[in-house]
Amino acid sequence: MRLLVTGGAGFIGSEFVRSTLSEHAADQVTVLDKLTYAGNLANLESVAGDTRFQFIQGDIADPAVVERALRGCDAVVNFAAETHVDRSILEPDAFVKTDVVGTWTLAEAARAARVQRFVQVSTDEVYGAVLSGASVETDRLDPTSPYSASKAGGELLVMAAVKTYGLPALVVRGANAYGPYQYPEKLIPLHITNAIDDQPLPVYGDGQQRRQWTHVADFATGIDAVLRNGVIGEIYNVGNPEPEDSLLVNLDVSRRILSLLGKSETLLQHVVDRPAHDRRYRVDASKLVALGWKPRWTFADGLEQTVRWYAEHQEWWRSIKSGETHQTYYARNYADRSAFAR
Ligand code: NAD
Ligand code: DAU
């Protein structure tokens, strides 16, 4: 298979590229990535010399760029997106441009190029908060943030292209991923790296929110199963099936990180909550399990491995955290919050 992987220089996309090239010897991969603040060529260093790998810098919202990138490709996996909920609250426009308009531009170009498969990577956040039970793929969408609403728009447009034009597309709705190479703005890498530096760990509100922490390697094998075995026009949830108690509430995730690093809980700092903060997500991934998906990581083991990775790869995240882009965002998102700490 010759694959176009958009957003392949990001967290999950780069894991997917590395695992595809190591597991599927006959595959070729082209990455198309705009290299926003979240894109990082260091994430692809291990495959850069592989003759089956090619990198193109460009925007999925640019029709000429996507037309060129798609030449000769049989399949597309669209990871490219603006992905951070807090940034979508501060600056929503980029989310509409990439997650809605960019997704549509790419889907149209894929239709013209007659690709055989198009996988749209979406999110469990499109269901909105789920206070009990688990979302199934037929549940109604009720997104809360500009991020989740933009992702809902993107996947609805892809499904419209399936129904209207016969685009051979599938949608994956993913739960919270964590693991190596995650940009240190998201809860787990932010709290690990702050703890290493003895900096406060900002906990939004009461910290009793729940996420379905799914190791990035399992997330990537879930996408692979949908790409190769999924039924066109179908939607598949991907999320860690462990019992909820093992996945912890946010505050306990942060406490576990501190304990793994031998740091004091006095670093925990409750701050003003995120607006419209979804209290809980959980998906039922049985449909993906029926395709043969077998998640391998428990959250306990995965969190330990992730903490170790950040402790051993400080050059990777220090170069991000010391940069002006990150520092400007950090000051903007957290300065007022800390001033109004509970
Ligand atoms: P990320 O923020 O780490 O990476 C996003 C990548 O997309 C970056 O490399 C960035 O440069 C690239 N990109 C952004 N805008 C682009 C554009 N206009 N054109 C081309 N490239 C562009 O994201 P991630 O956490 O790896 O998420 C990947 C996908 O998975 C996203 O679609 C996201 O919505 C979805 N998802 C993420 C999670 C999660 O927990 N991280 C969970 C469910 C779904
Ligand atoms: O559910 C899937 C989604 O998970 C993906 O679609 C998104 O791309 C991804 O960013 C993630 O969204 P969340 O908002 O759940 O992830 P985040 O790591 O930002 O936050 C996780 C939880 O931790 C959430 O309840 C907010 C809380 N939090 C987050 C940060 C950054 C804090 O308490 N403090 C923080 O500093």
239: tokens are 């999320």
pLDDT tens column, 162-185: 999 999 999 999 999 999 999 999
- Helices 103-112, 63-70: axis angle to 10 degrees equals 40
pLDDT tens column, 201-231: 999 999 999 999 999 999 999 999 999 999 9
Give the Å distance between the CA of 186 and the centre of ligand 2.
6
Give the model's confidence band at 242: pLDDT under 50 very low, under 70 low, under 90 confident, else very high: very high
- Report CA torsion sign: 27, 28, 32, 35: positive
Residues 6+ apart with CB under 8 A from 71: 113
Average confidence (pLDDT) over 334-338: 82
Q: Which residues pair with 177 in a beta bridge?
A: 214
Give the model's confidence band at 109: pLDDT under 50 very low, under 70 low, under 90 confident, else very high: very high
Q: pLDDT at residue 258 above 50?
A: yes
Residues 6+ apart with CB under 8 A from 297: 215, 217, 218, 240, 305
Buried b (16+ CB within 10 A) or exposed e, 152-177: bbbbbbbbebbeeeebbbbbbbbbbb
Q: Which residues are catalytic?
A: 124-125, 147
Give the model's confidence band at 250: pLDDT under 50 very low, under 70 low, under 90 confident, else very high: very high
pLDDT tens column, 18-41: 999 999 999 999 999 999 999 999
Q: Which residue has the higher pLDDT, 260 or 336?
A: 260
Q: What is the 3-state secondary structure (H, E, C) of 252-319?
A: HHHHHHHHHHCCCHHHEEEECCCCCCCCECCECCHHHHCCCCCCCCCHHHHHHHHHHHHHHCHHHHHH
Q: pLDDT at residue 81 above 50?
A: yes
Q: Which domains does the chain have, with CATH numbers?
A: 2-178+212-238 (3.40.50.720), 187-210+243-275+298-329 (3.90.25.10)
Nearest CA to ligand 1 atom 33: 83
Distance (Å, whole) CA 182 – CA 100: 23
Pocket of ligand 2 contains residue 330 by CB under 6 Å: no
Nearest CA to ligand 1 atom 12: 7
Closest CA to 117 of 238, 24, 224, 208: 224
Q: pLDDT at residue 342 above 50?
A: no
Pocket of ligand 2 contains residue 124 by CB under 6 Å: yes
**Phi first, then psi: what are they for 252, rounded to 5°?**
-75, -30
Query: Which residue's entry shows tokens 């955290």?
Result: 321
Substitution candidate for ligand 2 out of 187, 206, 306 with most atoms within 8 A of CB: 187
Any residues with Cβ below 6 Å from ligand 1, and which?
Answer: 6-7, 9-13, 33-36, 38-39, 59-61, 79-83, 98, 102, 121, 123, 151, 174, 176-177, 183
Query: Which residue's entry shows tokens 């959980």?
Result: 282
Distance (Å, whole) CA 314 – CA 40: 15
Distance (Å, whole) CA 218 – CA 127: 21
Q: Which residues pair with 169 in a beta bridge?
A: 118
Distance (Å, whole) CA 258 – CA 198: 10
Say if CB 145 and CB 84 are below 8 A apart: no
CA 171 centroid distance within chain: 14
Q: What is the mean pLDDT of the chain?
A: 97
Say if CB 87 and CB 22 are below 8 A apart: no
pLDDT tens column, 273-311: 999 999 999 999 999 999 999 999 999 999 999 999 999
pLDDT tens column, 37-56: 999 999 999 999 999 999 99
The structure's pTM equals 0.98
pLDDT of residue 337: 81
For residue 201, the 8-state DSSP code is E
What percent of the chain shows pLDDT beyond 90? 98
Q: pLDDT at residue 341 above 60?
A: no
Atom of ligand 2 nearest to the CA of 211: 15
